[in-house]
Structure 1
Amino acid sequence: MKVYTKETVQHVNASVEECWTFFSSPRNLQKITPKDMGFQITDFDNKPMYAGQIIQYKVSPLLGLKLSWMTVITYVKENSYFVDEQRFGPYALWHHKHFFEATENGTKMTDLVHYALPLGFLGRIMNSLLVKNKLKEIFDYRCVKVDEMFNSKK
């Protein structure tokens, strides 16, 4: 299985605590996800993030095809990092680490995703043709939305 890595770093003009409050809430994920993804939470216990928390979604990443996706929050260190991992969904592997680090001017946020696709050789072709570009588009959109919400304040 070929494992790919996607890393993004963004500086946010907000405290680690403010960033944590926003990004550790699954309810806010829809606000920073492109509309064409059809992102919808279908099951979530509405509790503050904790290790073992299960979140279920519907997403439409390609051609309007609705897919079910279940993630589990596997690690949480408040105001520092959390990890979500796919249990069921479109990837053979999805391991997403979210890091928050205080800086002089706010917070450095780092997303590090390790992912793999099913179907062996066909999955590698799909990554080259579609998936890696779609992930770039999603994280670029997220960066713009976060800038609008946090970095545009006067």
Structure 2
Amino acid sequence: MKWNWGTKLVIGMVCFMSFIIVLAIKMFNSSPDALVDNDYYEKGLNYDKEYLLKEQVKKDQAKPVIELSPEGIILTFKDSAEGKINMVRTADKRMDKIIQIHTDELHRAAIPLTGIAKGHWKLIINWKSAGKFYLDEQEVMVE
């Protein structure tokens, strides 16, 4: 069977349009990007506040020590502290958790591993200790 150039042109256009339609359908059905924040504008406005809180950690040498144990994630602070931890799962935003913390007499706070999936987590720790506010970010690998 011989095809003339007009038939080949139509077949090429149909293939190209099919390719574009498949890409468009795939784009609309894909999950939202976990690396893009919906509230990036507000975070940009609060950047200076976060920077000062992180610098306060350096100034007071108050960075919490994180240990992984079979019971959970143990955070040891310089002084008694209370606050919250945002546990961010970089692979899946739906797994993020916010946990309230209060230290014991040894200045430790424990996060049980129940309900926490294995893998890479980013801990954003906001706490108040000795009348000062702090912010620290650390990464852990839960196994």
Q: Same fold (TM over 0.5)?
A: no
TM-score (norm 1): 0.25
TM-score (norm 2): 0.26
**Which structure's CA Rg is the greater one?**
2
Q: Which has the higher contact order (CA 8 A, sep 6+)?
A: 1
